[in-house]
Amino acid sequence: MPTATTIDAATTTQPHNPQRSVRGGLLDPRMLCKSLPGALRKLDPRTLWRNPVMFIVEIGAVLATWCAVLDSSWFAWLIVGWLWLTVIFANLAEAVAEGRGKAQAASLRKAKTDTMARRLTDSGREEQVAAPLLQRGDIVVVEAGQTIPGDGDVIEGIASVDESAITGESAPVVRESGGDRSAVTGGTTVLSDRIVVKITQKPGESFIDRMIGLVEGANRQKTPNEVALNILLASLSIIFVFAVATLQPLAIFSKANNPGVPDSLSLNGDGVTGIVLVALLVCLIPTTIGALLSAIGIAGMDRLVQRNVLAMSGRAVEAAGDVNTLLLDKTGTITLGNRQAAAFTPLTGVTTEQLADAAQLSSLADETPEGRSIVVFAKQEFGLRARTPGELENATWVEFSATTRMSGVDVGDRRLRKGAAGSVAAWIRSEGGTVPPELDDLVESISAAGGTPLAVGELHDGQARALGVIHLKDVVKHGMRERFDEMRRMGIRTIMITGDNPMTAKAIADEAGVDDFLAEATPEDKMALIKKEQAAGLLVAMTGDGTNDAPALAQADVGVAMNTGTSAAKEAGNMVDLDSDPTKLIEIVEIGKQLLITRGALTTFSIANDIAKYFAIIPALFVALFPGLDLLNVMRLHSPQSAILSAVIFNALVIVALIPLALKGVRYTPSSASKLLSRNLCVYGLGGIIAPFIGIKLIDLLIQLFPGM
């Protein structure tokens, strides 16, 4: 059955998505031009007040403009210009982040056509109705070539569906009534057959509607961490407002007690000028992180969308970054899901080559994944060429059936059978042969190791005998142990959930390298495990696709529902993976951690920036009054005017310089919290102190090139 493309957990390569082709590079000039009108519209105080830091900057820019009008000078107007640019650059960062989402939303809207639905009435007749008018509970009919008019569940029929408008994957998927693959999405196209769909959406709340709203940022609400950081930044800004306000009376008092001090930019007969006070305030409050905070959050959501994951809220992304426990299904997540041949174990008196030849012959017409793996294994390990059923003349193929639990081939006077050990043993006895106790011992040892044994029997020259056992193994995906080692270094505990017996579960868990496992798991067991972890103060993430997974998905802090799953699962989770790849949960955790690290790194850089600006501005302004401050005047700027102007220009330009980092995110490498903190302090803390010293000094040197300034 065709399914959506899955991604190997060992790689980060993503399937081609035509939706992503609309994206330009970071700070793409075309994107900047498109975002500039939005940045200007965000100057509206009714919009900007949600960002306390930049709202204060805008108020300061207005006051500075008024001061410049009253006392016009080149210095005043340059300060005013750069203050307004600071606000615009901050708005531009958010507008660019939103613009990247709007570019994807435009492609998603193409999937929202004016579709007409064939709604079934109570009498069983069909009526044409516009898709937006469909109500929850309506029953519609969709046939090959028609667009599914709304989100719902298939209640009758089976069909191949093209979901490329949503997932970007060209490979069709199968949707059928019943089971965990019954959910369909509005805007996708039926390629074959006929299905009857029960609509589960409300008007205007379809999957595409929600996705468009989220990627555009229209429905994005501030996360708890963002709210807390905004409160901190607002508090710091208020403190600096009072601190800067005290400079005016301090300057007047100091001037009165030092009448011999010459007038300067900052100290005239009336004290410190309003322009200088505003410029000083803007340079000292944490404008850098205040300008980039919204862009960081939007970009984090955008990175998930690029990986075909729809997060229903920013809270879910943040929670993913703080996850302590990962619950992972075994089949399809940790293992490939299809058992593969791993070994041929012959009985006494039979060579391994003889067993491999018989196993391959009996599997030539077996189209199951297990059968194909036996043919390939025999070829690779024993040099047996890949024969085809057509090469064997007068061969009679015995297909596998649930009744016999065997398959095989009859060629001349030779008959081969492969299947469940009990069935093959019964066949051998029915043909007059005997089954040695050694066969039972081999079967038990393979089962104990977590594998699946398949016995191979032969009837040749009237003698029936057992040849040996094929060891089928649920193969762990390549690189999973390394990924789990990374999770462990991140402080995340991994738990494998499986319906297998404890012995098989332990064997797979040991091979994959997970920390723990839950065998013979039921929905109630999953729920109990999640509640137990949460009771210990831990955050839990899990994936699911079935209706029976819905309670656990709703209980988990991060519940990732598969797009191929039921509507109940998608409603219960706070994320939906459009690729339906269970291993995506590991990437989601990494993206969440990258979001938190990016926010922390830029906050560190911003606060460290302010420390450096103190050394640039305060000594230059007050060294005439307090000669002792000359020790702090390490930058030796040209003049007080140059110091103020250089700091304001640097304050604006650093926002633009950090927009790509805010959008792309700080590179995340798995390590402990203490190491991450040390790296942040060394790179972004130290860098935040050094960068202003260099940047402000260079700008000061450039200003000196213009004598009139």
pLDDT in tens, 639-697: 778 888 888 999 999 998 898 888 888 887 777 667 777 887 888 888 888 888 888 88
Side by side, the strands of the sheet bearing 395-398 are 335-346, 463-476, 452-460, 414-419, 406-411, 395-398
User: Do 261 and 293 belong to one domain?
Assistant: yes
User: Do 89 and 226 belong to one domain?
Assistant: yes
Longest Cα–Cα distance in the chain:
124
User: Do 563 and 507 belong to one domain?
Assistant: yes
- Within 169-307, residue ranges assigned H as helices are 207-216, 224-245, 247-257, 274-284, 287-306
Is 44 known to be catalytic?
A: no
- Residue 318: count other Cβ atoms within 10 Å of its Cβ: 24
Output the pLDDT for position 214.
Answer: 60
**Contact call for residues 286 and 606 (beta carbons, < 8 A):** yes
**Contact call for residues 415 and 430 (beta carbons, < 8 A):** no
Tell me, yes or no, whether 560 lies in a domain: yes
Tell which residue, 646, 626, 680, 633, has the closest CA to residue 264: 626
Rounded average pLDDT over 458-464:
87
Q: Is 400 annotated as a binding residue?
A: yes
Tell which residue, 307, 298, 101, 310, has the closest CA to residue 185: 310
Tell me, yes or no, whether 141 lies in a domain: no
Query: Which one is catalytic: 209, 329, 500, 610?
Result: 329
The pTM assigned to this predicted structure is 0.66
**Contact call for residues 152 and 177 (beta carbons, < 8 A):** no
Tell me, yes or no, whether 16 lies in a domain: no
What six digits make up the tokens of 237?
A: 């800004």
Judged by DSSP in three states, 16 sits in coil
User: Do 516 and 564 belong to one domain?
Assistant: yes
CA dist., res. 67 & res. 248, Å (int)? 15
Backbone Cα Rg of the chain: 34
Which of the four pLDDT bands, split at 50, 70 and 90, describes residue 709? Answer: low
Scored b (16 or more CB within 10 A) or e, 279-305 reads bbbbbbbbbbbbbbbbbbbbbbbbbbb
pLDDT: which is higher, 440 or 220: 440
Output the pLDDT for position 387.
Answer: 58
Domain boundary among the residues 546, 578, 610 is at 578
**Contact call for residues 150 and 140 (beta carbons, < 8 A):** yes
pLDDT: which is higher, 69 or 261: 69
Tell me, yes or no, whether 187 lies in a domain: no
- Binning the chain into helix, strand and coil, the percentages to the nearest 5 are 50, 15, 30
Q: Is 312 annotated as a binding residue?
A: no
Domain limits at 430? 358-471
User: Do 574 and 611 belong to one domain?
Assistant: no
**Contact call for residues 280 and 247 (beta carbons, < 8 A):** yes
CA dist., res. 707 & res. 709, Å (int)? 5
User: Do 447 and 369 belong to one domain?
Assistant: yes
Tell me, yes or no, whether 154 lies in a domain: no
Output the pLDDT for position 1.
Answer: 35
Q: Is 388 annotated as a binding residue?
A: no
Q: Is 151 annotated as a binding residue?
A: no
Output the pLDDT for position 84.
Answer: 94
What CATH number did the domain enclosing 324 receive? 3.40.50.1000
User: Do 230 and 95 belong to one domain?
Assistant: yes
Given a cut of 80, whether residue 246 has pLDDT beyond it is no
User: Do 430 and 496 belong to one domain?
Assistant: no
What six digits make up the tokens of 10?
A: 């060992």
Judged by DSSP in three states, 47 sits in helix
Q: Is 370 annotated as a binding residue?
A: yes
User: Do 415 and 481 belong to one domain?
Assistant: no
Q: Is 441 annotated as a binding residue?
A: no
**Contact call for residues 140 and 151 (beta carbons, < 8 A):** no
Domain boundary among the residues 471, 493, 508 is at 471
How many Cα atoms within 13 Å fall on the side-chain side of residue 19? Answer: 31
Domain boundary among the residues 471, 500, 527 is at 471
pLDDT: which is higher, 509 or 580: 509
Tell me, yes or no, whether 657 lies in a domain: yes
CA dist., res. 127 & res. 117, Å (int)? 8
Cα dihedral: 624, 628, 629, 633 (round 10): 100
β-partners of residue 493 are: 325
Tell me, yes or no, whether 84 lies in a domain: yes
Given a cut of 80, whether residue 22 has pLDDT beyond it is no
Tell me, yes or no, whether 85 lies in a domain: yes
Encode pLDDT of 105-154 as tens digits.
665 565 555 678 889 888 888 888 888 788 888 999 998 888 888 888 88
Rounded average pLDDT over 609-628:
71
**Of all residues in the chain, what percent carry a pLDDT higher than 70?**
81
Domain count for the chain, please give it.
Answer: 3
Q: Is 405 annotated as a binding residue?
A: yes
What CATH number did the domain enclosing 373 receive? 3.40.1110.10
User: Do 618 and 556 belong to one domain?
Assistant: no
**Contact call for residues 474 and 332 (beta carbons, < 8 A):** no
CA dist., res. 42 & res. 82, Å (int)? 17
Which of the four pLDDT bands, split at 50, 70 and 90, describes residue 293? Answer: confident
User: Do 601 and 671 belong to one domain?
Assistant: yes
User: Do 612 and 691 belong to one domain?
Assistant: yes
